[in-house]
Amino acid sequence: MNGFEVCQSIRAFSDTPVIMLTMSDQDEDVVRALKSGADDYVTKPFSVEVLLARIQAVLRRAKFPEEVARPEFHSGELVIDFEQHQVSVAGKEVKLTDTEYKILSLLARHPGRVFTQDQLLEKVWGWEYRGENHILQVSISRLREKIEDNPRDPKYILTRVGIGYSFPKLAE
């Protein structure tokens, strides 16, 4: 498959942003790429700064589906009120930092899904923090101290050794 066909195939099932990188700067190729579903078209050679700026622009314009709207999330004694941005354990409110809330909320909205450390860093802090695993590990540790009965044996924020973190899959 060529790039145009790949883009059309992606568009058949996803609205994920697509930027085509190519050697051709012919108008007909640019038009064909955009009609195939590409969000932007960059010709080689290009500078890293220009590519990053184009990626950021495409992501700003991207329309991602809203999170599943549910006012509250319950798992055992943990309750997350998404509308009020409040967390409680065993009926007692737990004061979380904005970062801790973002981590917990992201994991709880996707029970059973394992997020890599880089995915969490990017979604909570931004793409420029990829690779800064220590920041994430410290935040996870502090969050566990606040919500877990036994932070050394967590039941809410699970570690997937060598991969990342997850919230346990909810019972059906």
Indicate whether 32 and 99 sit together in one domain.
Answer: no
The answer to whether 171 and 76 are in contact (CB under 8 A) is: no
Mean per-residue pLDDT for 14-31?
87
CATH of the domain at 156: 1.10.10.10
pLDDT over threshold 70, residue 34: yes
On whether residue 21 sits in a domain, the answer given is yes
Indicate whether 10 and 54 sit together in one domain.
Answer: yes
Q: Which domain holds residue 53?
A: 3-61
The answer to whether 47 and 40 are in contact (CB under 8 A) is: no
pLDDT over threshold 90, residue 90: yes
Mean per-residue pLDDT for 13-32?
86
Q: Which helix (H) or strand (E) holds 7?
A: helix 3-11
Q: How many domains does the chain have?
A: 2
What global pTM score does this model have? Answer: 0.61
Residue 22 phi, psi dihedral angles, 5° rounding:
-150, 165
Per-residue pLDDT, 146: 96
Give dist(CA 84, CA 109) in Å, integer: 15
pLDDT over threshold 60, residue 172: no
Task: List CB contacts of 103: < 8 A, sequence separation 6 or more.
Answer: 120, 124, 136, 139, 140, 143, 157
Mean per-residue pLDDT for 12-41?
86
37, amino acid identity: G
pLDDT over threshold 80, residue 100: yes
Indicate whether 17 and 54 sit together in one domain.
Answer: yes
- Percentage of the chain modeled with pLDDT above 70: 93
3 state SS of 155: coil
Give dist(CA 39, CA 16) in Å, integer: 9
